A and B are shown apart, each in its own frame.
Chain A
Amino acid sequence: MDFWRNPVTDWVSGLLVSWGLSPEAAHVLTAFLAVLVLISVVMVLDIFLVWMERKIVARFQDRLGPNRLGPFGLIQPIADIIKLIVKENIYPRGADKVVYDLAPVLMMMSVLLLWAVLPLSPILFGVDLNVGVLYIVGVGALGTLAIIMAGWSSNNKYALLGAFRQVAVMISYEIPMVVSLMIPTILAGTMGINGIVQAQSTWFIVLAPLACLVFLISALAEMGRAPFDLTEAESELIAGHHIEYSGMKFGLFYAAELLHAFTFGGFIAAFFFGGWRGPWVDQYPMLGLLWFLVKTLIGYWVFGWIRYTLPRIRIDKMLDLNWKFLVPFSFALLMFLAFMHSLLRGTEVYVLGMFLSNVVFGWVTVEILRRQARQERSRVEGARAAVNAGQKT
């Protein structure tokens, strides 16, 4: 188990040993410093995600976005941070102060912890857990918990309602998300995320495009972004679970949301688009970081694209979409692909066969949906015709 074993960390731990530390303590201390560096870099990145998000939305809405402070408005997010830090922290009356303060920390933590298992390049990955995929799900559970804590401790009806609706959506969409993650697990034969990336000599988007689609949809709901951002339904719920938060605590919720989107862009890249794989990675392992970041940014941009293109969906439609379509669909897909995989594994037609199975599966699904829609339409039209006939006589 190597944790960031590279010349820099070797040099640091060597230095620490020469200062009289035991090798094990030096190793742990080096790892601690590495984690500190990684998380600091991620936090700085997060600050610029705010800028990027505002620029992207501005372009989608035919505006300019922040452009006053510094070149292209690049200093704007720093000004925002300073504003958030010096803003007054208000505890609403009757709030449960400890839980109220813990919730934003837990929220941010639930996103930062995801970076522990993200493989950034062949030689640069946090921890290669053999239960990586389930680890993502478990860390997501902490985020759910943070939302409940925020909503409950604020002592506000709207916060509680928003939190409950958001949690209902998050837990519902967790099922198709986990099931769609099980498909790369089956294809790679391991739950370790680095192992999954290594197994993608053909990207899994070719072998399981439908799983990628399910993962994309459920990840959007899991992050609570449009079109699934029920918690921010301003007109009904004001702002969901973080109504009563102000200053830096609100900032943490906001930053966690953006970073969550970015991180999930990274996971889509790692699970379905080959992660750090790309040309010349074998010669220059650090090049993997570049490929990974490019893929992640494309994923992030797609999330933004969806967010600013689609209108918000009503909660009952959303839950219907999940329980009546995505859950049966993803389980059926899992069963079908597992079967095809064990049937075709090792043969020459494996890649082609898997791709065609996906196409056939998607086609059958569309046909079933079309038939149902037709039935529904004829039912509605029949009823309307009956009403019209009744009016005429």
Chain B
Amino acid sequence: MQNEWIYIGLFLVVGALIPAAAIIVSAVLSPRKSNQIKESTYECGVETVGENWVQFKAQYYIFALVFLVFDVEVVFLFPWAVALNQLGVFVVVEGLIFIGILLAGLIYAWRKGMLEWV
């Protein structure tokens, strides 16, 4: 029973229960008078045209992709950051090489104009 994650589990349970309780109480107390107009999609009073669907541009994906790679890099770097004090200057240099290699990728994408929004 010495696992501290059990408390995180308690937070997870209570943190889900309280907002859910708010929604349930509101669902019990609030009126339910739905009609066609009320249910319709909100578009500032304009009738919805076509499917509720728009084609996204690939730029969203590019940003998510660069983010993913840097996110994984961060995962590698955090143990390095924690262990930094225990080990010598050599370790710092290793981390610097690690970051440097990935910054090269960022600079590549930047120079090729792939980080532009439009």
Contact = CB atoms under 8 A, between A and B. Distances in A.
Direct contact of A and B (CB under 8 A): yes
Interface of A: 1, 3, 24, 27-28, 31-32, 35-36, 39-40, 43, 84-94, 101, 104-105, 108-109, 112-113, 115-116, 126-129, 131, 133-135, 137, 155-158, 160-161, 164, 168, 171-172, 174-175, 178-179, 182, 185-186, 189-191, 238, 243-244, 247-249, 251-252, 315-316, 319-320, 323-324, 327-328, 331, 334-335, 338-339, 341-343, 345
A175 B1 CA distance: 35
Nearest to A84: B26
Contacts of A191: 78, 81-82
Nearest to B33: A88
Contact of B99 (A171, A189, A323, A334): A334
B25 interface: yes
A28 B6 contact: yes
B85 A244 contact: no
B117 A315 contact: yes
Interface string B9-48: 0111111101110110111011111100011111110001
Contacts, number: 219
The size class of the interface chain B forms with chain A is 35 or more
B14 A39 contact: yes
A188 to B, nearest CB: 9
> From DSSP, what is the main secondary structure of chain A's interface residues?
helix
A238 to B, nearest CB: 7
Contacts of A93: 39-41
B7 A178 contact: no
Given A3-B7, A85-B25, A112 B41 contact: no
